[in-house]
Structures are given as structure tokens and as C-alpha cells.
């Protein structure tokens, strides 16, 4: 009798531990390496390998996102190293911006046919956007992949700049793209861009007023014309991205996507519902210490500055609780989720600290998604920002 009971208890314990093992997969990390623009890379293969070697001795690295230099040799060398460590290599590929040196793409315009002012962060990051609807732009990008990157050993592609311009270019950045091709697509969505322009002309800033903000569903536009415009814009931009993603996936590549934080995504045409169904993983940029495009506080302040007369926008403190609200907003979407936390340092642009990194990664890892992306350039992360990864809680 006691023996039977012992066997029963033993079997129960075995079952419990097996279930636990299946449901609690150890979270892992994805690391971003920025090589600069299309031309000569800012680092050698040996430098990148050395850095990844150090980082992967501290934390489990699952994928490396690297780009977008055209230096095939670097990728081949790095790929050999990463694959020997069971780490995937993904090409960091800008979709609707930064392509002017390599593709002859048509540019995005605002609803008045003007090209929005662009934002220059560094060489190779001009943030000048292409039209999201022009099929030639999508074809050029896929052709660029096939010609320059298909034999470099990549396991996947990480799609960046999959949006329109933001409030970085004021209202012109978000009331965009208004080219004839896009106007036709808006019409198919039941939105007449002339009516949108007329509404903006008569209402001014209050066109952007919201009736409230819900952390999960986001801002609710007061004006029905504005609401319809942004819904349609999300469909147009995101379905173009989806088609590009599908084309790359049909080549056997996994696809990751760089997204604005959920609360700002609708302004730049990122519909999480559409995008997450065409991605293997999404990386919302939950940057609290980035004072450049995609920084959460940075973009929100630009919104408030662009339309000071709009009402209903709460004052956000971009603190740990706000980070938590954005993690919660990501929950419903059906793909792997790796929120991006910046760990590189640049005075005034990205003034991160080990404390900030520990707090942010601690919150992300505790949330129970697949892991986190160490953004936006591991090569620019100070030693202290890397060594602190090990003793995070
Ligand atoms: Zn267009």
C-alpha cells in the first residue's frame, strides 16, 4: 500500500514538473547591431562577433538583427559564428525610408501634396518616407533583398520604418500619404481625402481631439472624420507591410517588425491587428530614454506641440507604470512579442543608465512574453550596460 501511494505521488510530481516545463519557457533576448547605412559598415565582423560572444555569455541570445550595410562578407562570417551558437541572424531592413541610395522609390506626400520636412538623426537615418501604396516601392525592396541579401545566410528579416512619418514633421507627417494612389485606396476604405482636408481646415487642432484614452484600446477620436481617416490609414499602410512580409516569408524567412508603442501606433498607420498576423514576432519600441523618433515621450510631446488646441490628451509621465500599460496593450496579438528596450548610450539622444535598463528589462521579462530586444545598437552600449544584464533581478 505505501509503495503504491509513493508511486502515485511520484507520478503526480512528474506530471506537474513536465507541465511547468512546457508552459514556462525561459525568456530570451534578441540583439540589434546597427552597422550604419548601406555602404561600408561601422564595425568589422570580428568586432561584432566579439560583442555578441560577450553578451551571449551573460544572457541567452536567440537572434541577432543586423543591417543594413551591403557588405556580404561580414554577414557570411557573422552567420557562421551565430549558427554555430544556434543563434538566428536577421537582416535589419528599412522598408518605407532610408532607401533613396539603393532604390528609385516614389516619395510620400501629405494630404496637400507636399513632402513633409524630414528628420536627420545621423548619416543613413534621414527618416524621409516613401509612399506606402506604390507597388513599385514594394517590388524594389523585395528585388533589393533578392539581389543583395538572399545569399548572405540570413534566417529572417526585421522590417523597420514600416509606417508613415510621425509628428516629427508636425501634422503634415501624420496626415499622410495623400498621393493619388493613396487617395484611391482611402476611397476604397470609404474615406474621401478632400473631405478630410476640409474638416481639418474648418476644425483646426480640434480635428485631433480625443474623448478619452484607454490603455488597451488607445485614444478615441472625437471627430468621426478623423477617426475614419486613421482607421483607413492603418489598413492601408499595414496591409502594404503585410504583403511585403508575406513575400519574404514565402522565401522561407522569419519576419520581425519594428513598431511604435501601442498608444502612438495609429498615428503612423500601424494597425497591430493586421501586422501581428503577418509577423513571427513584433518589437514595439518601448523607449523611455530615446529623444529621437519612436521615443515614447519624445513623440507624445511632438503631438501636443503640433496640435496645442486639441483636447482630451492626458499628461503622461513615461515611468515604469506607463511601460507596464504598453506591455498590457500588446497582450492580445497573435505572434511572439519581444518589446524593445534601448541599452545604447548617446548623450542627450539616448541618455540611458544601468538603473534604467535594469528597471525596464525587469518589467518586460516579468510580463511573461517571449523575451526582449536589446535596442538599438549593442555596439554603442557601454560596458556597464552590458554587465548589468547578468545581475538583473
Ligand atoms: Zn501614397
Closest CA to 253 of 280, 277, 276: 280
Q: Going residue by residue through the chain, which has 393 residues, state the pLDDT in tens, using 9 for 90 and above.
A: 455 665 555 555 555 554 444 445 789 999 999 999 999 999 999 999 999 999 999 999 999 999 999 999 999 999 999 999 999 999 999 999 999 999 999 999 999 999 988 777 765 667 889 999 999 999 999 999 999 999 999 999 999 999 999 999 999 999 999 999 999 999 999 999 999 999 999 999 999 999 999 999 999 999 999 999 999 999 999 999 999 999 999 999 999 999 999 999 999 999 999 999 999 999 999 999 999 999 999 999 999 999 999 999 999 999 999 999 999 999 999 999 999 999 999 999 999 999 999 999 999 999 999 999 999 999 999 999 999 988 654
Write out the H or E segment, with its range, that includes residue 13.
helix 2-23
Cα of 19 vs centre of ligand 1, distance in Å, is: 50
Cα of 176 vs centre of ligand 1, distance in Å, is: 8
- pLDDT value for 20: 43
Q: Which residue has the cell 490628451?
A: 313
Cα of 188 vs centre of ligand 1, distance in Å, is: 14
Cα of 181 vs centre of ligand 1, distance in Å, is: 5
- Reduce the DSSP state of residue 267 to 3 states and report it: helix
Q: Which residue has the cell 506606402?
A: 132
- pLDDT value for 4: 62
Phi, psi of 132 (to 5 degrees): -80, -10
Cα of 106 vs centre of ligand 1, distance in Å, is: 8
Report the C-alpha gap between 191 and 195 in whole angstroms: 8
Cα of 184 vs centre of ligand 1, distance in Å, is: 9
| CB-CB neighbours of 70 under 10 Å | 20
- Cell, residue 371: 523575451
Cα of 111 vs centre of ligand 1, distance in Å, is: 9
Residue spans of the domains in the chain: they are 27-176+234-391
- Reduce the DSSP state of residue 32 to 3 states and report it: strand
Cα of 112 vs centre of ligand 1, distance in Å, is: 12
Report the C-alpha gap between 243 and 95 in whole angstroms: 12
CA–CA distances in Å: residue 41 to residues 47, 68, 73, 98, 355: 11, 8, 11, 15, 31
Q: Are strands 61-67 and 88-94 parallel, antiparallel or unpaired?
A: parallel
Report the C-alpha gap between 41 and 144 in whole angstroms: 18
Fold topology of 27-176+234-391: TIM Barrel (3.20.20)
- pLDDT value for 127: 80
The residues pairing with 64 across neighbouring beta strands, listed in sequence order, are 31, 89
Radius of gyration of the chain (CA): 22
- pLDDT value for 19: 45
Write out the H or E segment, with its range, that includes residue 275.
helix 272-276
| Strand ranges for the chain from DSSP E | 28-34, 61-67, 88-94, 156-160, 210-214, 218-221, 254-259, 281-284, 336-337, 340-342, 371-375
Q: Report CA 85 to chain centroid distance, whole Å.
A: 26
Q: Provide the CB-side half-sphere exposure for 135 (13 A, CA).
A: 2
Cα of 285 vs centre of ligand 1, distance in Å, is: 25
Q: Provide the CB-side half-sphere exposure for 35 (13 A, CA).
A: 28
Triad 93, 41, 248: Cα angle to 5°: 20
- Reduce the DSSP state of residue 188 to 3 states and report it: helix
Cα of 336 vs centre of ligand 1, distance in Å, is: 30
Do 132 and 96 meet the contact criterion of CB atoms below 8 Å apart? Answer: yes
- Cell, residue 334: 497573435
Amino acid at each position: 500500500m505505501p509503495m503504491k501511494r509513493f508511486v502515485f505521488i511520484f507520478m503526480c510530481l512528474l506530471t506537474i514538473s513536465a507541465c511547468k516545463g512546457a508552459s514556462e519557457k525561459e525568456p530570451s533576448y534578441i540583439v540589434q547591431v546597427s552597422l550604419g547605412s548601406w555602404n561600408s559598415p561601422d564595425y568589422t565582423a570580428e568586432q561584432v562577433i566579439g560583442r555578441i560572444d560577450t553578451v551571449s555569455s551573460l544572457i541567452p541570445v536567440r537572434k541577432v538583427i543586423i543591417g543594413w550595410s551591403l557588405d556580404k562578407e561580414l554577414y557570411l562570417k557573422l552567420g557562421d559564428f551565430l549558427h554555430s551558437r544556434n543563434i538566428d541572424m536577421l537582416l535589419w531592413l528599412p522598408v518605407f525610408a532610408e532607401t533613396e541610395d539603393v532604390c528609385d522609390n516614389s516619395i510620400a506626400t501629405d494630404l496637400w501634396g507636399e513632402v513633409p520636412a524630414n528628420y536627420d538623426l545621423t548619416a543613413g537615418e534621414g527618416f524621409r518616407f516613401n509612399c506606402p501604396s506604390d507597388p513599385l516601392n514594394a517590388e524594389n525592396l523585395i528585388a533589393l533583398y533578392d539581389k543583395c541579401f538572399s545569399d548572405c545566410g540570413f534566417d529572417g528579416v526585421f522590417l523597420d520604418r514600416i509606417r508613415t512619418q510621425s509628428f516629427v514633421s508636425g501634422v503634415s507627417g501624420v496626415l499622410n500619404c495623400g498621393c493619388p494612389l493613396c487617395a484611391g485606396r482611402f476611397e476604397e476604405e470609404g474615406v474621401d481625402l478632400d473631405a478630410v482636408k476640409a474638416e481639418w481646415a474648418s476644425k483646426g487642432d480640434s480635428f485631433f481631439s480625443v474623448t478619452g484614452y484607454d490603455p488597451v484600446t488607445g485614444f478615441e477620436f472625437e471627430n468621426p472624420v478623423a477617426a475614419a481617416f486613421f482607421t483607413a490609414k492603418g489598413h492601408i499602410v499595414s496591409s502594404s507591410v503585410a504583403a511585403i512580409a508575406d513575400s519574404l516569408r514565402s522565401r522561407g524567412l522569419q519576419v520581425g517588425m519594428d513598431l511604435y508603442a501601442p498608444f502612438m501606433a495609429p498615428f503612423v498607420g500601424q494597425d497591430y491587428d493586421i501586422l501581428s498576423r503577418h509577423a513571427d514576432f513584433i518589437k514595439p519600441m518601448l523607449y523611455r530614454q530615446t529623444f529621437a523618433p519612436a521615443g515614447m515621450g519624445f513623440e507624445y510631446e511632438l503631438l501636443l506641440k503640433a496640435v496645442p488646441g486639441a483636447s482630451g490628451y492626458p499628461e503622461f509621465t513615461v515611468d515604469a507604470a506607463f511601460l507596464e500599460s504598453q506591455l498590457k496593450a500588446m497582450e492580445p496579438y497573435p505572434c511572439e512579442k519581444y518589446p524593445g528596450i534601448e541599452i545604447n548610450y548617446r548623450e542627450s539622444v539616448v541618455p540611458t543608465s544601468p538603473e534604467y535598463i535594469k528597471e525596464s528589462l525587469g518589467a518586460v521579462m516579468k510580463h511573461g512574453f517571449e523575451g526582449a530586444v536589446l535596442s538599438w545598437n549593442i555596439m554603442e552600449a557601454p560596458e556597464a550596460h552590458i554587465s548589468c544584464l547578468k545581475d538583473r533581478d
